[in-house]
Amino acid sequence: MGKSSYWWIIPIIFIVLGVFYPLFNLLVFSGGINFNVLSENKNIIIFTIKQAFISSFLTMIFGLPGAYLVARTRMNKFFKSIFRVLSSVPFVLPGITVSMGFLLAFGKNGLLTNLLSFFGYKERILFTFTAVILGHVFYNFPLFIRIVGETWEKIDGSIIEAGKIDGANNLKILFLLELPNLLPSILKAFSLTYVYTFTSFSIVLILGGIKYSTIEVSIYMYTRILFDFKSALTLAIFQMLLISIFAYFVNFRKQDFQSGKTIKEKFPMWGFIYLILVILFVFVPLSYSLFSGFLTYGGGFGLDNFKRLYSLKLSQFIGTDIKSLIYYSLLLPAISTFIVIFLSTIASYYSVKGKRLDYILIIPAAVSPVTIAFSYILMRFSPLNSLILIYSLISLPIVYSFIESGWRTLNHELEEAALLDGANFWKLNMKIRFPLIKYHLFTAAVYAFTIVLGEMSATITISEPPISTFSIAIYRLLSSRRIPEARALNTIYSFIVFLLFGFIEYLRNLNEKRI
């Protein structure tokens, strides 16, 4: 990949063919645009913008201290690894799985309900605006831990040492030396959080209720319930334009990032308070979700739910057998992960070199998966190919962000030295660049795989037997009132995700030892 080549066009062509061309076909099919639907949904549009900003701001406030603790303090290595893994899992779990944990934690007899009641807070949290915000913070704060934390950990410690020698205190070092280097990654995480909370569907609907509908909920209603495709498409295009404009102005460039080995500070006292809050409001709901399969109706703890799942004839409820379920749950994410890693590696490289691709690469996250899925149905794409394309589009923005963070931490002096020594295109990439960002590539791949594994709205719109995934199987079991079996399958699915992130943490620790 050279700066003057045209590889950067490939991701743009993919988005044009995967998003804009299908939307154009849907536009022709629906007969145009219905501008009246914007005024009819004025309150929903205002609410969507407001809740997304509040959710993103509070996610940033909650996520930045965690990024600092992980990146800049001498936290116990084992505990840090557990913290990294557990704080990463929420973002990739499907909304129905996250909601299951919240419903159990904040339900009538939930641990957090009892704890809040003990301290005098007896107001109901579920099905309120507070529940929506808490769900979004829970869901998205891993973005700040990962994206900002990865950058923070790479800031050259010599800069901080020089500041201390000049008499700067920790506050001055933070605001004058560290934040200028962190600003691109902070804005990147904030931008992604805003997009994901703006387009929120299941979290809003399950934890908040229909009175807290977002634009995404309205698009689903017009498409699947009212069959008013003109109104659905109008809202989808409006949402895409609004988010694209937002991403364009939030996009920030800083080319002189100084990468190196950071200085680790003593773990602060406020860090323990922060960890207690994380354990209570993140890890407790997550634990409820992870171990829901072991919880029986009587309040006990056992394997009854798994026995019921094993003896259940799954095909009657999810339309396929266990072998097909596992096959497609692995095959579809694997293919789409390969595609999105290829596209994101190219796009993020040229973005770092000066091409403003951020506001284009974030577009897939702004488009309703249901809208794209329906447009693919109109174009008579096969369910298998449609899902691979949609999965690649859905995971593209977040994967692009992780790999771009890797490109930004590269030591460009090594590249220049390799070029002077006569390294060609192949050697430069395979011997210098990719080995240095391999952790970012592996992390991006795990996120891509697990995000796809948890996707629901497009999958349930397009899939037909024998195609099914774990998230859809969980949803259909719940819909069929097979709650014990759904909980058991949810636990199996959640532990698969947990093990994948554990593998990434293992690679990270291995990489640190070599350094």
Q: Is the pLDDT of residue 18 over 90?
A: yes
Asked whether 393 and 241 are in contact (CB, 8 A), the reply is no
Does residue 369 sit in helix, strand or coil? helix
Residue 328 shares a structural domain with residue 216: no
What is the pLDDT at residue 253?
A: 55
Residue 18 shares a structural domain with residue 54: no
Q: Is the pLDDT of residue 8 over 80?
A: yes
Round to whole Å and give the CA distance between 70 and 475.
35
- Domain CATH code at residue 221: 1.10.3720.10
Nearest C-alpha neighbor of 433 from the set 446, 445, 420, 424: 424
Which tokens hold the place of 508?
A: 């990270």
Bigger pLDDT: 409 vs 175: 175
How much is the average pLDDT of 70-89? Answer: 86
Q: Domain boundary residue among 242, 262, 293?
A: 293
Q: Residue 258's pLDDT band (boundaries 50, 70, 90)?
A: low
Of 235-249, 385-399, 497-511, where does the model show the most confidence? 385-399
Round to whole Å and give the CA distance between 110 and 289.
12
What is the pLDDT at residue 125?
A: 85
How much is the average pLDDT of 74-78? Answer: 85
Domain of residue 434, residue span: 1-32+313-481
The length of the chain is 515
What is the pLDDT at residue 419?
A: 66
Q: Domain boundary residue among 293, 326, 346?
A: 293
Amino acid, single-letter form, for residue 326: I
User: Could you tell me if residue 128 is inside a domain?
Assistant: yes
Round to whole Å and give the CA distance between 441 and 407.
10
SS3 per-residue string spanning 35-103: CHHHHHCHHHHHHHHHHHHHHHHHHHHHHHHHHHHHHHECCCHHHHHHHHHHHHHHHHCCHHHHHHHHH
User: Could you tell me if residue 233 is inside a domain?
Assistant: yes
What is the pLDDT at residue 257?
A: 54
Residue 222 shares a structural domain with residue 360: no
User: Could you tell me if residue 504 is inside a domain?
Assistant: no
How much is the average pLDDT of 311-338? Answer: 91
Q: Residue 344's pLDDT band (boundaries 50, 70, 90)?
A: very high
**Class of residue 222 by CB neighbours under 10 A (exposed 0-12, middle 13-18, buried 19+):** buried
User: Could you tell me if residue 89 is inside a domain?
Assistant: yes
Mean pLDDT score across all residues of the chain: 85
Residue 321 shares a structural domain with residue 434: yes
Give 106's DSSP letter: S
User: Could you tell me if residue 490 is inside a domain?
Assistant: no
What is the pLDDT at residue 448?
A: 93
What is the pLDDT at residue 203?
A: 83
What is the pLDDT at residue 421?
A: 67
Residue 26 shares a structural domain with residue 51: no
Q: Domain boundary residue among 261, 293, 325?
A: 293
Nearest C-alpha neighbor of 339 from the set 378, 394, 377, 381: 394
Q: Is the pLDDT of residue 63 over 90?
A: yes
Residue 119 shares a structural domain with residue 243: yes
Amino acid, single-letter form, for residue 418: A
> pLDDT by residue (tens digit) across 141-172?
888 998 898 888 878 777 778 777 777 777 88
User: Could you tell me if residue 321 is inside a domain?
Assistant: yes
**Least confident piece of the model among 35-39, 241-245, 376-380:** 241-245
Of 90-99, 106-115, 432-441, 444-453, where does the model show the most confidence? 444-453
- Max Cα-Cα span within the chain: 71
User: Could you tell me if residue 499 is inside a domain?
Assistant: no
User: Could you tell me if residue 280 is inside a domain?
Assistant: yes
What is the pLDDT at residue 301?
A: 84
Round to whole Å and give the CA distance between 125 and 398.
30
Which tokens hold the place of 111?
A: 């641990």
Residue 50 shares a structural domain with residue 171: yes
Residue 287 shares a structural domain with residue 383: no
What is the pLDDT at residue 254?
A: 52
Into how many domains does the chain fold?
Answer: 2
Residue 50 shares a structural domain with residue 159: yes
CB atoms within 10 A of CB 367: 27
Residue 333 shares a structural domain with residue 270: no
Residue 10 shares a structural domain with residue 93: no
Nearest C-alpha neighbor of 461 from the set 372, 340, 396, 379: 372
Which tokens hold the place of 465?
A: 């037997």
Residue 143 shares a structural domain with residue 257: yes
What is the pLDDT at residue 238?
A: 92
